[in-house]
Amino acid sequence: MTDDNDLLKRLRAAAKHPLMDNSCIADVFDVSDAADRIEALTEQLEAARLDAKKAVEEKLDAISKLDAWFDRRKLGHKAVDQAIVDAASGYLRICRVGGMDFGESDRILAAIQDMAQLSLFSDLFARATLAEIEGENDE
């Protein structure tokens, strides 16, 4: 900004020269005022950029902390997968009492247990949760 400041000083000095007429003086001060406004807007823009950069860094830090505190898949595997296996076991027990074939019930339970062991249910839960969080951020 030293070149701009130099130019402004020269323009202001020229405006005070005895040979300058009033119209030239008005033009010089209009340019000077515009330059001051541009400089002020540039400073505001820079401040806004710094604020935006700070906000992005804070967001990334928060996400990093959450990922460090919680491994969603492991927590989901312990909580979600086991809850689904327990619910399916209870339902299949009721189905057996109602007349379902024991072999068929055991095969269904084994398939659900295999899916839980592969963390399929917790992965679906984590994806749905992330999609919900991303949907909130988009709004």
Q: What is the pLDDT of residue 49?
A: 94
Number of Cβ within a 10 Å radius of residue 115: 16
Q: pLDDT tens-digit profile of 68-117?
A: 556 666 676 777 888 899 999 999 999 999 899 999 999 999 999 999 88
What number is the average pLDDT over the span 36-40? 83
**Predicted TM-score (pTM) of this structure:** 0.44
Q: pLDDT tens-digit profile of 120-139?
A: 888 888 777 777 776 765 55
pLDDT > 80? residue 45: yes
Nearest to 80 by CA among 122, 112, 113: 122
Q: How far is CA 70 from the centre of its chain?
A: 18
pLDDT > 90? residue 48: yes
Q: What does the alpha-carbon distance between residue 121 and residue 29 come to, in Å, rounded to a whole number?
A: 71
What number is the average pLDDT over the span 27-52? 80
Cβ contacts of residue 15 below 8 Å, gap of 6+?
24, 25, 28, 29
Domain spans in the chain, listed from the N-terminal domain onward: 1-69, 71-139
